[in-house]
Amino acid sequence: MPARAAIDPALGLAADLRPDAEPEIVELRGDAAGGGWVVVNKPSGLCSVPGLSPDAQDCVLYRIAEMFPEAAGPMIVHRLDMQTSGLLVLALDAETHRELSVQFERRTVGKAYEALVDGVPPERAGVVDLPMRSDHAHRLIQVVDRVQGREARTEYEVVGEEAVRGARCARLRLGPITGRTHQLRLHCAHPWEDGGLGCPILGDNLYGPTLGVPHRADRLLLHAGLLAFDDPLTGERVSFSVPPAF
Per-residue tens of pLDDT for the chain, all 246 residues = 222 223 233 332 333 444 567 899 999 999 756 789 999 999 999 999 998 888 778 999 999 999 999 999 999 999 999 999 999 999 999 999 999 999 999 999 999 999 999 999 999 999 999 999 999 998 889 999 999 999 999 999 999 999 988 889 999 999 999 999 999 999 999 999 999 999 999 999 899 876 655 567 889 999 999 999 999 999 999 999 999 999
Helix (H) or strand (E) holding 63: helix 60-67
Who contacts 92 (Cβ-Cβ below 8 Å, separation ≥6)? 30, 34, 35, 36, 37, 38, 68, 70, 71, 72, 73, 75
Among the options 81, 93, 118, 204, which is catalytic? 81
81 is catalytic: yes
Number of residues assigned to the chain: 246
Q: Is residue 59 exposed (0-12), middle (13-18) or buried (19+ Cβ within 10 Å)?
A: buried
Q: CA-CA distance, 122 to 196, in Å (whole number)?
A: 11
Does the model's pTM come out above 0.75? yes
